[in-house]
Chains A and B, each alone.
Chain A
């Protein structure tokens, strides 16, 4: 096939408007977040004392952290999904979300007596955290990876990791309404481990399905 022939075919295909990646991602979230919420209420429940802890700084901090990861993760994923786009500011945003957690951990260490550090870190149900955050992240991860196929990431593995990070933040935000361990020490270990696992899966799958 000559290149001119190909161009004729491409021009004939002009009316097929590909979905812009932002719109595909918005649709993916609108479909997958309700599914994740449904799975959340099927498997677990919101902690019974949520009304009493709603004003607790540690409880609020969990959401500050997971929602800032969600925002930064979505932002960097969208930046990485298009060619020749500077993702620098979005990288800084991801760094700031991590720094926020680090500050929370340091403040917690300053407040808590040394003897309570370990029991606080171990918490009451680390295993549930490690299992349920990935489970709750599955639907958003799958939907986001499909949506990002509308994009053209220069690095499919990196874009997949960013999608994984954003999806893990959805899972972590939902799990945080159930989990009674509110200390930044617990979040800094178990939430982070679970979210890292989802990010790694996103990278692995992304490196295959986000090629273009």
Chain B
């Protein structure tokens, strides 16, 4: 446990100093941990696993956007868990509102349970659709299409600086869209 967290901390420090490969590695390691953690949280509240990946992504976004609230001198595990807990609770609140729909309104939809797999995909697109046009294009180009900043800049005839700004704003907007979401 402590060893794993030391490794996260070392990668995170390298990442925050600009090492993108180390940063990617720590986010991937955290993803595996967060998936288990969120799944456990969902199970405790008797919720299915349909939205687990959403909460994982929301948590990763928060870890990224709030990375300066962690300091290398402090243990990283409690910091990660506090962020994950916050996002889990947010998701539970949204889930709570969703459960309050009168049963008559959803009775027709109930047989369609096998479609939940597709729901996840649709939600992710739905989240991207909350970004304004240019931000959405740029976030999509760099995430889903895996293009570099440079290629994205060439494709949209923008400067790399402008792409970086739009990407950052897009990610912040994505985090906000999750937070404000009433699915």
Contact = CB atoms under 8 A, between A and B. Distances in A.
Contact of A20 (B23, B56, B65, B68): B68
A151 B133 CA distance: 28
B20 A18 contact: no
A111 interface: no
> Per DSSP, are chain B's interface residues mostly helix, strand or loop, or mixed?
helix
A8 B23 contact: no
Nearest to B145: A5
A12 B140 CA distance: 12
Q: Is the interface of A mostly helix, strand, loop or mixed?
A: loop
A17 B83 CA distance: 19
B62 A3 contact: no
Given A9-B142, A9-B143, A16 B168 contact: yes
From A9, A12, A14, A82, residue with most partner B Cβ within 10 Å: A12
Nearest to A19: B68
A154 interface: yes
Interface residues of A, number: 32
A211 B179 CA distance: 9
Contacts of B140: 1
Contact of B53 (A3, A9, A16): A3
Interface string A2-29: 1111111111111111111100000000
A2 B142 CA distance: 12
Given A7-B24, A212-B65, 17 more contacts: A1-B143, A3-B53, A5-B146, A6-B57, A6-B60, A6-B61, A9-B167, A10-B27, A10-B171, A12-B20, A12-B149, A13-B64, A14-B18, A17-B68, A21-B69, A83-B83, A84-B78
Interface of A: 1-21, 81-85, 150-152, 154, 211-212
